[in-house]
Structure 1
């Protein structure tokens, strides 16, 4: 039997009772599928349900074949050896025991038929660019990106029939991403990937668009999906315009009919008062006129209702991808203003800034480099969260730092209360009016931070920092597009278009970096050096 995933009448709700899926049907066959949708639509939840990590409230999920699942958050015990993380420590120990002359039956049972497991493990590590990571090293010796690839290597060694990947390129540098792309392209079975990485989504065979608890299928990769969606949206917007024109027409016709009926009523009343016809005839005419008026009114009201329904239906087909639009005049930095100075800076864990580095005015700096090169350490040192080993890092303007973990938010507080922490002098009305520009309108500003989706949580953290007092004139972002869907990335880009201060972004997401108007590219590879934009896409 070929491997597949079949979802039948699936229902699932969040702990607060909000329905995520209500009777959803779907089927995934052999090939690569990109699962897309706005943050909070249930993409990660669906993968967890298929992987068996969550139980549906109703319905059924059938998986033909073994499932391998790579979640968004990869947390490995730093004390684990690499072979333990790969799940081959027992087999490896048994093999070494047999090679040493111990012919215990238990060792042969442990090895089974997998006599080349160590060679396969090393080959898999090599294919993912981890040849330098020995099987006896501990997880604490590898970077965050390498630990993601180790989890993927463990899955590939199991040879599952169905592979589920949730934001697999998070924290991966350019080199590691290319290794992952190659593994995805070579995958022979069922693969379902959730990602905001456009380059990865352009490798899939089809797109499953999850919206309002239902999946719409599009053949081809993400670029083909965008073209098809644009055509659909143009047609939907035309239908809205047609429906709006029809609604106006039905309203006019109803008013015209009411005016005509009023005239007939006045004429009949006049005839009655002047008694120009017998009373019995006038009574019959009055009753006929009332019946006719009722029929006309009902007919026009039904047409008006139908026109409203058509407009509502047409409007539902138009996607409402709101954009963040903010006016932040106090973040502006004059062109010649000194913003940041680094002098002979030596960081923890080995990276350094030889000589000096200066940032002036509203420059936009992209900080790139391999996983583990020290980009986060550099940002945390500039932010004052870490002391340098030597040298100095001096910011000359108010700065804010948004870390990968988004731990600037207090989960027990609402969105509005979190912003108030950063702007204690602002009134509640002022906070709410500014939050509305970050798409937290009305009751959404009263949501508890720990109930927000990944994209909402990022938006709330960004709002808290950008609306802080004093206004930040240097904003530092560490891997800001991790866990964001495409719509949220566009929202972030539009917010940064309104920001007039200096910007430093550490990211492996090259399309995003290009979209925010980077003026200088810095590579951290042991030392900090300036590079050309062309050198950013360097080959592994």
Structure 2
């Protein structure tokens, strides 16, 4: 019997009543499936329902075979040995007892037919780059990335028919990712993977797009999915334009009809007032005119309503995935590494930093102060755009600066060309693939920077800096939420969640700063830079 997974009329709601699925139907056969969708669409929830970690409100999950599940956040008991974490400790003990001459029946029952359990375990560890661990080592000695691979090794040894992976490349370095890719490629049964790792998703056989509680299927890997989606969206946007034109036409026709009816009414009233026809004839003419006018008006109003409905349907088909999805592993800064040094710094316009200020590791610093306090001057001095009057401002890592005016873009170049300026060694395909994560897909990447809206311009500037090569390990942002709508602020916050370097943000927007996970608050006041806290800013008293 081939392995398979089926969900039928699956419904699930959180305890507070928030619905996630309502009658979901889906079937997964042998092969590799990439499960994609926006954050909050229910991808991880679906995997937990299949794995039995959550119970459906209604409906059923049917699996032919065993299920292996790798959760997004792997935690292993540090007191365990590696063989215990792999789930083979009992079989291994039975094997050793039999080899030592103990022929007790319980040892044979515990071991079953798995006589090569140790060889298989060591081979699996070796395939995943964990051959150095050994089976007797403590789990407490392994790194976070090794914990993920160790949990995966346990699943592979269990030989489940259905394997569920939720963001498996989290905490994995490049080498470990290659090991994971190889394991995924060779998987023989049903495999469902949720990931933001494009390279991993390009190894799958099909994409399941989870959206609004329903799954849409696309054959091929993630690249093929994006191409198909771009074609769909272009067609959907054309339908919106057609529907908008039709709506305008129906509005015009209704207005024209109303003008004509008003003229007829005025003419009829004039005839009535002048008594040019017998009263009975004029009465019949008036009733017929009213009846005709009513039918005419109803017909045009129905056409207008139908045009509005077609437009609503067309707009609904156009996706509004306004979330930036980006992976920036090369921006990572190790804890404790020197990032920025300010020493006895005196700026133009009078602001100063007395003594020495050090920024180390991936700290997230909020720079606050009144307008005119010198925040922009300080950032421009750190970025090298302004020379200090005295002292030193020295960055120890690659940095990028996003000014308020967003003038990092060349107005005459396209979005893709602007990004390519900052990453000259990147191929065109790589630039476009990464731009898609910043919501510039297909023809949108070929728009000139000078034609972009405010939100689009901001996204393009942010993409150019964050995708720059070498990757910026210090990012300076000057009032980034100025003139941004809520959707654009959410996009910025999401993008910065993926940024692993040091961050200095000058802003008055405290909720936005809080959403960034700020670790240090610096106040520039009366020409001096000093440490402060969020509470002091919220309650100056």
- Indicate whether the TM-score tops 0.5: yes
Contact between 1:10 and 1:58, CA under 8 Å: does it hold in 2? yes
| CA deviation vs aligned residue, 1:141-189 (integer Å, no higher than 9, x gap) | 1111111000000000000001111111111111111111111111111
C-alpha deviation, 1:297, in angstroms: 0.8
Alignment of 1:81-480 (within 5 A): 81-322=81-322, 366=330, 376-378=334-336, 396=357, 401=362
Where does residue 436 of structure 1 map in the other structure? none
| CA deviation vs aligned residue, 1:425-461 (integer Å, no higher than 9, x gap) | 799xxxxxxxxxxxxxxxxxxxxxxxxxxxxxxxxxx
- Name the CA distance, whole Å, in 2 between partners of 1:168 and 1:215: 22
C-alpha deviation, 1:98, in angstroms: 1.9
2:473 to 491, 495, 504: 504
Distance 1:98-1:213 versus aligned 2 partners, 3 A rule: same
- Gapped runs of 5+ residues in structure 1? 325-363, 369-374, 385-393, 409-421, 428-465, 468-485, 507-511, 519-540
Where does residue 26 of structure 2 map in the other structure? 26
- Gapped runs of 5+ residues in structure 2? 342-354, 372-401, 404-433, 440-457, 476-494, 502-541
Distance 1:400-1:201 versus aligned 2 partners, 3 A rule: same
Where does residue 438 of structure 2 map in the other structure? 490
DSSP 3-state at the match of 1:69: strand
Where does residue 390 of structure 2 map in the other structure? none
Contact between 2:340 and 2:359, CA under 8 Å: does it hold in 1? no
- Name the CA distance, whole Å, in 2 between partners of 1:201 and 1:224: 10
C-alpha deviation, 1:395, in angstroms: 8.3
Contact between 2:68 and 2:155, CA under 8 Å: does it hold in 1? yes
> TM-score w.r.t. structure 1 length?
0.65
Where does residue 539 of structure 2 map in the other structure? none
C-alpha deviation, 1:102, in angstroms: 2.3
Distance 1:272-1:398 versus aligned 2 partners, 3 A rule: farther
Distance 1:190-1:396 versus aligned 2 partners, 3 A rule: same
C-alpha deviation, 1:321, in angstroms: 2.9
C-alpha deviation, 1:16, in angstroms: 2.5
* Root-mean-square deviation over aligned CA pairs: 3.4
Distance 1:102-1:48 versus aligned 2 partners, 3 A rule: same
Distance 1:426-1:20 versus aligned 2 partners, 3 A rule: farther
> Alignment length, in residue pairs?
383
Higher relative contact order (CA 8 A, sep 6+): 1
C-alpha deviation, 1:378, in angstroms: 4.0
Distance 1:121-1:37 versus aligned 2 partners, 3 A rule: same
Distance 1:88-1:487 versus aligned 2 partners, 3 A rule: farther
- Name the CA distance, whole Å, in 2 between partners of 1:193 and 1:262: 65
- Name the CA distance, whole Å, in 1 between partners of 2:461 and 2:154: 39
C-alpha deviation, 1:497, in angstroms: 3.9
| CA deviation vs aligned residue, 1:285-331 (integer Å, no higher than 9, x gap) | 1111111111111111110011001011001111113367xxxxxxx
> TM-score w.r.t. structure 2 length?
0.65
Contact between 2:38 and 2:321, CA under 8 Å: does it hold in 1? no
Where does residue 480 of structure 1 map in the other structure? none
Alignment of 1:507-522 (within 5 A): none
C-alpha deviation, 1:489, in angstroms: 5.0
